[in-house]
């Protein structure tokens, strides 16, 4: 086996427009922050026709892509959001007919269950998971299709020098579901080390390593072999702290020379998806991931959905 290749990579809402004189203003003026030009290369948004019950303000606004729940909570505290002309409150519920403004502009609300969009991206090394970088390094967002409304939210992060599976969604609620520690979604990585773990180091990594931000442990470690100074392992953990995998191996005296995420929860990186490429997750799979009812009348024969899924290779904008 070549030292530079790793065996682990084989896995590799009905509309809630108020019936007021401001309805036209609502449609004309309301724009989510950082809304972009018409979409390129993506499918349209799908909606379920069942009306939803009144929901918490931050949840509704996150679902339409205004921002993450945490950002929206900060805007509420700062007084940037109003409901029916009054300052919004944290945890406030809204329903059809309520008029919500952000920085004085009306926001079009949706009270139907909308299927989120999810992109699966194979991040190469040398890209940063941030919208802007003072150092001018390329960002993952430069590769993604432009949304008509809302924005892409990265599900977790990967370091500048880490490659592999990275998910994006236009739904803040789903992003929270995928990232919040209470859901304990497993992350799986292929790791190339300079050196090999001994039994004592293996046991320490499984039982727990004390890092500066708390105890960290791998839920599993498997030896994937290697030649010379390089040795491959596959590891899983159920949290996503900054540089956690690298820091854990450094804590037992070994250096990570290459790191690649190959799975996030139930989503596995396909061998068809090469570095720098992205694909849109099929709607039925998104519904399963988000815990939503599956779309009606779209059942596919085994293997059919895979053939219909398009892979996209883009260059940074």
So which residues are the catalytic ones?
159
Please tell me the distance from the alpha carbon of residue 238 to that of residue 183, in angstroms, as a whole number.
9
Number of H-type helices and E-type strands within the chain: 8, 20
Please tell me the distance from the alpha carbon of residue 317 to that of residue 56, in angstroms, as a whole number.
36
The length of the chain is: 317
User: CA nearest 178: which of 55, 57, 264?
Assistant: 264
Mapping DSSP onto H, E and C, the string for 239-264 reads: CCCCCHHHHHHHHCCCEEEEEEEEEE
User: CA nearest 210: which of 255, 251, 253?
Assistant: 251
Please tell me the distance from the alpha carbon of residue 208 to that of residue 141, in angstroms, as a whole number.
35
Q: If 0-12 CB within 10 Å is exposed, 13-18 middle and 19+ buried, where does residue 295 land? A: middle
Residue 289: how many other CB atoms lie within 10 Å: 19
Please tell me the distance from the alpha carbon of residue 258 to that of residue 245, in angstroms, as a whole number.
11
For CA atoms 213, 219, 223, 224, the dihedral sign is: negative
């Amino acid at each position: 086996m070549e030292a530079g290749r790793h065996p682990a990579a084989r896995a590799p809402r009905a509309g809630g427009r108020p019936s007021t004189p401001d309805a036209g203003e609502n449609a004309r003026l309301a724009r989510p922050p950082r809304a972009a030009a018409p979409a390129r290369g993506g499918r349209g948004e799908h909606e379920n026709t069942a009306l939803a019950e009144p929901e918490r303000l931050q949840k509704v606004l996150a679902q339409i892509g205004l921002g993450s729940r945490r950002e929206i909570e900060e805007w509420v505290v700062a007084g940037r959001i109003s409901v029916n002309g009054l300052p919004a409150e944290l945890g406030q519920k809204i329903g059809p007919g309520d008029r919500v403004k952000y920085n004085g502009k009306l926001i079009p609300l949706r009270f139907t269950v909308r299927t989120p969009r999810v992109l699966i991206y194979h991040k190469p090394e040398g890209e940063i998971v941030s919208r802007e970088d003072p150092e001018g390094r390329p960002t993952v967002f430069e590769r993604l299709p432009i949304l008509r409304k809302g924005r892409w939210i990265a599900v977790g992060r990967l370091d500048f020098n880490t490659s592999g599976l990275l998910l994006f969604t236009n739904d803040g609620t789903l992003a929270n579901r995928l990232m919040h520690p209470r859901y304990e979604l497993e992350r799986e990585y292929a790791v190339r080390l300079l050196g090999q773990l001994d039994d004592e180091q293996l046991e320490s990594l499984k039982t727990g390593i004390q890092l500066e931000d708390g105890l960290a442990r791998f839920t599993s470690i498997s030896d994937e072999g290697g030649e010379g100074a390089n040795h491959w392992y596959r590891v899983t953990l159920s949290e996503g702290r900054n540089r956690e995998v690298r820091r854990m191996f450094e804590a037992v005296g070994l250096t990570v020379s290459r790191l690649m995420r190959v799975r996030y929860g139930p989503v596995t990186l396909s061998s068809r998806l090469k570095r720098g490429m992205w694909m849109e997750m099929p709607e039925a799979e998104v519904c399963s991931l988000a815990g939503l009812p599956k779309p009606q009348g779209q059942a596919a024969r085994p293997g059919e959905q895979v053939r219909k899924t398009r892979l996209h290779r883009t260059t940074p904008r």
